[in-house]
Structure formats: structure tokens, C-alpha cells
Amino acid sequence: MVTYIVKRLGSTLLTLLLLSIGIFMLIRLIPGDPVVAMLGEDATPERVADLRAQYGLDQALIPQFLNWLGNVVTGDLGQSVPTSRPVADLILTRFPVTLVLALFATLLTIVVAVPMGVAAATRRGKLTDKTVLLTSLVGISIPSFFLGIMLLLLFAVRLHWFPTFGFRSFSEDFFGSLRGFVLPAVSLGALYLAIVARMTRASMLEVLSQDYIVTAEASGLSRLRIRYRHALKNALIPVVTVVGLNFGALLGGSVITEQVFNLPGLGTLLLASIDRRDYPVIQAIVLLISVIYVVINLLVDLLYGFLDPRVRYAKN
Amino acid sequence: MRRTDITPEQPVLVDVVTEPVAPPAQVRRTRMKLLRHMSPMSKIGLVVVGVIVLLALAAPLLAPFDPLAPSASRLAGPSGTHFFGTDLYGRDVLSRMLIGARVSVMVGFVVTLSALVIGGTLGCVAGFVGGAADAVVSRITEVLLAVPGVLLAIAIVATLGSGVWNVCIALTLGQAPIMIRVVRSSTLALRERPFVRAAHAVGATRLRILFRHIAPYVLGVAAVQGTFVFAHAILYEAALSFLGIGVKPPDPTWGNMISESRAFLSVQPWNAIFPGLAITLLVLGVNFLGDGLRDLVDPENQERS
């Protein structure tokens, strides 16, 4: 297990290093002069020179990178170009909304998708199974923003069950604020719900065909006991990993959902920053979400290795 | 999200003792049986995708009105002359959707082909040659996959600028790594197969083994993954255009049509519903097709689904 952990840690660190190089290079891939692109054509030469110095664009690439990496690791993500506010502050004020949205969507996924998958697997080939399969195919195929707009149209515009727009801060009205997250969480979670339902079904079917389940059946244990005590426990191992991996993807997907529902999270900040060509903010958001994604990946891998010893010895 | 979906393992099709170097005959037969053995669902998928692709190709001939010029009053509902109504500038929604279909279909094909070529080549090389080539390819793949898909596309488009070609580049960079992984692990698994070892033992060259014995299998797996790439490309292009950083108005795409409809959602919901249904239908068709194809290529998976 220790060798496995060390190997995975090393490989993750290398990935993070290469990833930060990639994100660092992003700004240098902008066609033309990045500083002019950020400030606009009519910027004063002093401001251009100032910003160029701030990014170290007048230095060689490698010292520039090391300098930037050092700052990032110590939590200094630079300054926003138009407002000169520290990027870290901007991100911290927006992050809770994105995090709550992703957590909400994950919760929804687990609560709905796992029972769906189990129901489909235990009634294989029956109407329940077919309904679950078809629903999850639709869930995978419908664009999240379209689903969000349709939910808004039905539940907010027509039925007035939920607020249309307008976010309430957590401190001001906690439950009112959570209510505003219901529709966004459904529209963000639908895709992952579909994936987890399919995954649970497949995993459950595989476990149900194993010898020890057949033995348990033959020895006369009750069906329910077999399904929920023996089968589900093992069937959920791969599901846990998928839910974990999806959490990172949900943080990325929330960019779209936040835009649909006008939620003040990282996603709306990212898009506004793209509009303003505020590259330090863009870089920081991409870096932050990717790092979280990679770290979750690592944790899920380690957990999987812990739960299923075969993984530790399989690859590499 | 499909990364874990595809099992590269395939049943042993050739008996080593009696037929040591036989080319994978089953593969050829599978290819011929493809249409006959498709499930009803995947046939429906094929028809849906086929019809939408044809509509997209013939769009300029079929569009009843100019997609870029107002032809009636604004925000009119569906009617006999404007089947899907008109948008906020009085432009015919059906004509705009037909022209918009071209963007979806084109992005889908360009990204899928690029991912197949890049992923197929690099994946085969990484899996078959191994060593340093494998290490480099796998590392690059890992880094690209370290950024969640939507975010990677947004970051690249934000850097390169909007427009249909930049969208294609961004989506290819996100999808090709997944294809590389799938092809690589499939190649790796095949390398140890008895019939491949047997071919090696009787003196077949490495190139011959790669093209005659490994490529036919890998092609099937790559084709299945290709359908998922196609579906993802359409969804991501629509999302990017919806966010206003993909293909920008006035050129119509299904994504930016939905985006434009948002301000008038309560007045004229059809402006969002029709393009949204079009995306869903096309992606659903592709997914039907992909699932059917996977059951054909990978019977083991069918056992479970």
C-alpha cells in the first residue's frame, strides 16, 4: 500500500507541475501582444510597460515561470487587470456559491441515482429497467443549460414555485438562499445522475452474477438480505469512485449552470473575466478547479486501492 | 465521463492451438453483420442522425427564409408560414435552425475525425511501442485530462478567441486524450493475447502485427469512443456558443439561438424550446448509435447492460 501511495503521489505532483506550466503558458499563447490584448489598443505606453513588468513578460521564460509558481504556491494569485484587486480575494468571495452548488448536485445524484440503478438492476429487462435506461440516456443527451432554462420556464415562470433570478446571500437568508439552489442543482446534476445510475446498474448486475451471491441464494437467504447486505456493499465501490470523480467535473460544469441562473459563483466570474480579458483571474480559476479535480482524483484512487486491494497491484 | 466505461478486454476469439495465426476472422464478420445485428434503438439512432446530417447538408436549399434577415413580426409563435415562429429580430427560427445545424454537424465531424486520427495514432504507438514514447504520450494525456472538460474548452477558446475553428481545436484537445487512453489500453491488452503472441512466434513483423492483428480490433473500440466524442463535441459547442464564447451571433447556432432567446423566455418560450430539442434529439441519436455499436464490438459489456 505504501509503495502504491508514494507512486500515485509522485505522479500527481508531476501532473500538477506540468499543468501549472500549461496554465502559465496560456497567457503567452494569446495571438498578438497579450498586454495590448488585455488593456486594449488605446492604452498608454506607461500602463503597457507597467503591466509587462508586472507579469515579468520582459524577462526570460523560466525565471518568469518560477517566480509565478512561487507566488501561486504561497497564495498570491496576482491582481485583476481592470480593478487591480487581488485575484485571491475575488475568488474567495465567489467560491462558496460554486462549492454549495456542486455539493447540492452531488447529494442529489447520490440520493436519486443509486436507488434508480439498484431498482433497474434487480428488475433487469422489466419496464422499470427500461425506464431507468431511457431516462438516463436522455439525461446524458440533454444540454444542461437547456434543461436549466426549461426548469426555469416551468417551475419559476409558470408555477412560481422557485425564484426566477436573483441570488440571496447565505448570511442574509440561509434557507431562502438554499431554495434558490434547487433548480440549478437539478440541471447541473442531471448528467451525472444519469451516469451514476447507469454505473450503479452495471456494477450491481455484475455483483449479482458472482458466485458468492449465487451461493447465498442457494443457501436460502432472503432476496432482500442478499441484495442489500451482500450485493450493494460491493456494487457501490466503483460507484463511490465515479461520484468522487464527478465532483471535480461538477465544479467545471457549474460554469454553465451559474450563467443560466445568474449565480454569483466562480463560473460567472470566469465568463465576466473572459469578456474583460482579465487573464490573471481566468488563469487562477482554471488552476484552482483543476487542482481540486486532480486532488480528488488522487484521493479517489487511494480510496479505491484501499477498498479493493487488486487495484494496488494491477497497473504500472 | 466515459473514461471508465469502455473495457478494452475482449473475449478470446481464436483458438490458439488449432489456428495459431488466423487473422481475426470474427472481426470481419462483425463488420458485415453490423447493420443486421444492430438493436432497434441503435437503428433509430442511425436514422435520426442521418436525417439531421442530410438536413444540415441541404440547409441552404431547404431554408424557407433568409436566416439573417427579418421576414415577419418579432417573436411570433409557430404558424403556417413560420413553422417554428420568429425570433427577437423577426427572423425565421426554422431557417436559422437549419443553418445552425451545419455548425453542430460540422464541429461534430471535425472533432471526431481529429480525435480518431490523433488518438488512434498516438494511442497505438504508446500501447504498442511502450517505453519513452508511452511515457511522454501518457503524461501529456494526463495533464490535458487534469482540467475538467468544459473548463478546458473555455480556457482554450478564451485564449485563442471565438469562432468555429478555434472551438474545434479546443474540443479536439479535450477529446483526443480520452481517445488516446482508450486506444492505448486496448492495444496493451491485445499485445498479450495468444493470437498476437503466436503471430510474433511465427515471425510476423511488428508492423504486420500492428496493422493485421491489432488495428482491426482497436478500430472497433475507437469507433465506439468516436460516437461519444461526436456527442460531446455537439454538446460542448452548443454550451460554448450559449455562453457567448463559441460561435457568435448573427451566425446562427443552436447554442447561441437559445442564448438569444433567454431575455424573452416568458414571452416566447418556443425560441428556446425548438433549438434545445434539436440538440437533445441529435445527441440522443448519437448515443443510441454508440450504445448499440458498443454492444456489437464488446459483447462482454452487453452482458451487463
Cα distances (Å, whole numbers) of residue A189 to A102, A136, A140: 8, 12, 11
Q: Are residues A45 and A103 in the same domain?
A: no
- Domain membership flag for residue B258: yes
For A161, the grid coordinates are 414555485
Would the pTM of this model clear 0.95, i.e. be above it? no
Cα distances (Å, whole numbers) of residue A137 to A119, A131, A198, A250, B231: 16, 10, 9, 18, 12
- Domain membership flag for residue B43: yes
- Domain membership flag for residue A80: no
- Cell 494569446 maps to which residue? A30
Query: What is the complex's ipTM, to 2 decimals?
Result: 0.87
- Domain membership flag for residue A82: no
| A286 near B CB under 8 A | yes
Is the model more confident about B76 or about B305? B76
Rounded percentage of chain B residues whose pLDDT exceeds 70 = 86
Instruction: Average the pLDDT over B260-271 and give the result.
Output: 87
Query: Is B84's pLDDT higher than 70?
Result: yes
Chain A residue whose CA is closest to B151: A252
Specify the long-range contacts of residues A93-98, CB closer than 8 Å, at least 24 apart: A94/A264, A94/A265, A94/A266, A94/A268, A94/A269, A95/A265, A95/A266, A95/A288, A96/A170, A97/A167, A97/A258, A97/A263, A97/A264, A97/A265, A97/A266, A98/A251, A98/A254, A98/A258, A98/A265, A98/A266, A98/A267
Chain A residue whose CA is closest to B189: A315
User: What is the extent of the structural domain holding B43?
Assistant: 39-59+91-304
Residue closest to B28 by CA, chosen among B302, B292, B191, B216? B216
| A90 near B CB under 8 A | no
- Domain membership flag for residue A79: no
- The CA-to-CA distance between both ends of chain A, in Å, stands at 14
Q: Are residues A184 and A96 in the same domain?
A: yes
Q: Tally DSSP H helices, then E strands, for chain A.
A: 15, 0
CB-CB neighbours of A64 under 10 Å: 16
pLDDT tens-digit series, residues B23-42: 455 555 555 556 677 788 88
- Domain membership flag for residue B80: no
Query: Is B6's pLDDT higher than 70?
Result: no
- Domain membership flag for residue B23: no
Do the chains contact at B147 and A286, CB–CB below 8 Å? yes
User: What b/e string do you get for A117-144 counting C-beta neighbours within 10 Å, with b at 16 or more?
Assistant: bbbbbbeeeeeebeebbebbbbbbbbbb
Q: Are residues A112 and A215 in the same domain?
A: yes
- Domain membership flag for residue B85: no
Indicate the range of A13-22, A151-160, A225-234, B153-162 predicted with least confidence: A225-234
Query: Is A127's pLDDT higher than 60?
Result: yes
Report the distance separating Cα A95 and Cα A56, nearest Å.
28
Instruction: Average the pLDDT over A181-209 and give the result.
Output: 90
CATH number of the domain enclosing A164: 1.10.3720.10
Q: How confident is the model at residue A170 (pLDDT cuts 50, 70, 90)?
A: low
pLDDT tens-digit series, residues A11-29: 899 999 999 998 888 877 7
Q: What is the pLDDT of residue A151?
A: 92
For A10, the grid coordinates are 509522485
Highest mean pLDDT among A17-21, A34-38, A311-315, B278-282: B278-282
Q: What is the pLDDT of residue B8?
A: 39
Rounded percentage of chain A residues whose pLDDT exceeds 70 = 92
Range list of H helices, B192-269:
194-201, 206-208, 215-243, 254-261
- Domain membership flag for residue B204: yes
Residue closest to B246 by CA, chosen among B283, B235, B49? B235
Selecting from A143, A202, A252 the residue whose C-beta is nearest the C-beta of B279 gives A143
Query: Is B125's pLDDT higher than 70?
Result: yes
Do the chains contact at B143 and A15, CB–CB below 8 Å? yes
- Domain membership flag for residue A229: yes
Chain A residue whose CA is closest to B152: A286
Q: What is the pLDDT of residue B18?
A: 37
Q: Are residues A98 and A234 in the same domain?
A: yes
- Domain membership flag for residue A81: no
- Cell 466524442 maps to which residue? B229
Query: Is A54's pLDDT higher than 80?
Result: no
Residues 6+ apart with CB under 8 A from A311: A301, A304, A305
For B186, the grid coordinates are 486496448
Q: How confident is the model at residue B256 (pLDDT cuts 50, 70, 90)?
A: very high
- Domain membership flag for residue B181: yes
pLDDT tens-digit series, residues B228-251: 999 999 999 999 999 999 998 888
Q: Are residues A255 and A149 in the same domain?
A: yes
Selecting from B154, B238, B265 the residue whose C-beta is nearest the C-beta of A255 gives B154
Domain boundary among A21, A38, A73: A73
Q: Are residues A62 and A115 in the same domain?
A: no
- Domain membership flag for residue B274: yes
- Domain membership flag for residue A78: no
Residues of A in contact with B150 (CB under 8 A): 249, 252-253, 255-256
Q: What part of A 46-85 touches B (C-beta under 8 Å)?
A: none
Rounded percentage of chain A residues whose pLDDT exceeds 90 = 29
Q: How far is B18 from chain A (nearest CA, A)?
A: 31
pLDDT tens-digit series, residues A212-266: 888 887 887 777 777 777 788 788 888 888 888 888 889 999 999 999 998 999 9
Query: Is A48's pLDDT higher than 70?
Result: yes
Query: Is B10's pLDDT higher than 60?
Result: no
Residue of A20, A24, A109, A149 to mutate, testing the B interface (most B Cβ within 10 Å of its Cβ): A149
pLDDT tens-digit series, residues A298-310: 888 888 777 776 6
Report the distance separating Cα A268 and Cα B251, nearest Å.
24
Q: Are residues A133 and A42 in the same domain?
A: no
Q: How far is A44 from chain B (nearest CA, A)?
A: 23
- Domain membership flag for residue A233: yes
Overall domain count for chain A:
2
Q: Are residues A62 and A130 in the same domain?
A: no
Q: How confident is the model at residue A181 (pLDDT cuts 50, 70, 90)?
A: confident
User: What is the extent of the structural domain holding A218?
Assistant: 87-315
Q: What is the pLDDT of residue B305?
A: 42
CATH number of the domain enclosing B212: 1.10.3720.10
Size of interface A-B (CB pairs under 8 A): 137
**What's CA B141's distance to the chain center, in Å?**
18
- Please, which residues bridge with residue B86 across strands? B92
| A296 near B CB under 8 A | no
